Structure 1
Amino acid sequence: MRRYELTDAEWQALEPLLPASRMGRPRADDRRILNGIVWKFRAGVAWRDVPERYGPWASLHTRFRRWAADGTFTAMLQAAQARADAAGDIDWLVAVDSTIVRAHQHAAGARKGGTRRRPLGRSRGGLTSKIHLACDGRGRPLALLVTGGNINDCTRLMQLVQAIRVPRLGAGRPRVRPDHLIGDKGYSSKAIRAWLRRRGIAHTIPERADQIRNRTRRGRRGGRPPVFDKHIYKRRNVVERCFNRLKQWRGIATRYEKTAESYQAAVTLASLLMWL
């Protein structure tokens, strides 16, 4: 096994999750192709620089784009999560957060609109993207979104929580609701707290200093402070550790992909291997 390649155990878990080829000539070896895709994003190189032992770079890129477009990587991630849930291996104390990713100059230039949208935010540091992530209590990704770097965290929380969808191996609806949700002050708003209460999701989110001052200034009309458990909040660091593991992939720590679809597929692939 070479550097960055799948182990035998990882391949045995991944092979049944890959889509079958039903028509046309037999496709190139799936393990070799997947090893080349993983190597590309782990090393953070251009497609043309992937070693020749993985086959033509155009074949790797075509297969990656096909699997990104048809949702293969997302389906594989959900299948791995379903296996873990059936074994009782998921801690449903969910932590949410986001991280900024610098975008390389090669990430710019994609056609705007349609399926080739490119959520890039412009700031003093240049072009950036943001990964919004929800992970379980053991630091493994449950759901993720990719937006421009200038998008506020609280505006995507509802969409992020709704993206949590862990299928059942047998009969039954997918698991979509955390037992408890932990977020930092960036998610502190009345609208978010009310939405979580309506869905029956307990949460631990600290108040911002300005919100505390405004509530105190209004006296009784300000209402009661939200419940905050500092011991539960200490477990929020699992999402930070999850980001650290994801950013060990150089192709994720810096965004080189032009489209959000491709970049999110790369993050999904890295998340899948964390579950394995």
Structure 2
Amino acid sequence: MTIRFDGQVAIVTGAGNGLGRSHALALAARGAKVVVNDLGGARDGSGASSAAAAEVVELIKQGGGDAIAHGANVANFAEVEDMVGQAMAKWGRVDILINNAGILRDKSFAKMSLDDFKLVMDVHLMGSVNCCKAVWDIMREQNYGRIVMTTSSSGMYGNFGQSNYGAAKMAVLGLMNTLVLEGAKNNIRVNALAPTAGTRMTEDIMPEEFMGLLTPEAVTAGALLLCHNDAPTRQILCAGAGGYASARLVETDGIFLSAEEQTPESVAAQWQAVNDISTQQELESGMKQSEKFLSKAMAKLKSKI
């Protein structure tokens, strides 16, 4: 199977450098028309420049592709709407959205200002929300859409000095989980990419000797899988240095305690059973947890009749 995007329109945010640049170039090389979005700011979100996005557009055109640049700040919904409006005016549809734009404001939680916390949340979480909202009705009406969130191991597992970044990156998974359910009937599939790559975002985090292995192109291979016609949905694909793995949220089957037994001491006494991973499974929605616990309660009631 050869993965192609002929006739499709893709928006890639933060596409002037690093992963976004790699995603945009690869999509274009495989036939997609691309909106190269980049505010052009520094790693911490300060400043703005259109040069990086313009360079990517030029590279795409030199390769025979079609692309436009847009400098929308993804944290500003009006600017995002303008970007999507320009894509619709030029090409009449939006098939793919890769939410890649991000910034870093790393400090330990004790030393971090709330302004730095909010700014990172605004770019990563609200930036993803704004872009999804701007394309959502378009994708619903055309009965087709592929959305990729960019999450992180920092969100799923934690990373010292990244409470703001980690919180935002875990939050986009919550957004993904609900959009998967709401978009299913209109053939909108939503996935998440958890990348490890040697970019300006990680240049002082990763050891220098590893940077050559952590190519953006290795991550892009996973990104394109998540947004093509036969893409899965609700997948968290981890990618880096040629390695690919999936991550998932699971829940143990757990225990049941009667009303008389519902004390912290009783929960503690069965803590091993609560944590029995042999019974764990993925749940299709939040309601499935309620159904599980209620079924346990009903089964206990029936056993007393």
TM-score using structure 1 length:
0.30
TM-score using structure 2 length:
0.28
Higher Rg of the two aligned structures: 2
Which structure is richer in relative contact order (CA contacts within 8 A, separation 6 or more)?
Answer: 1
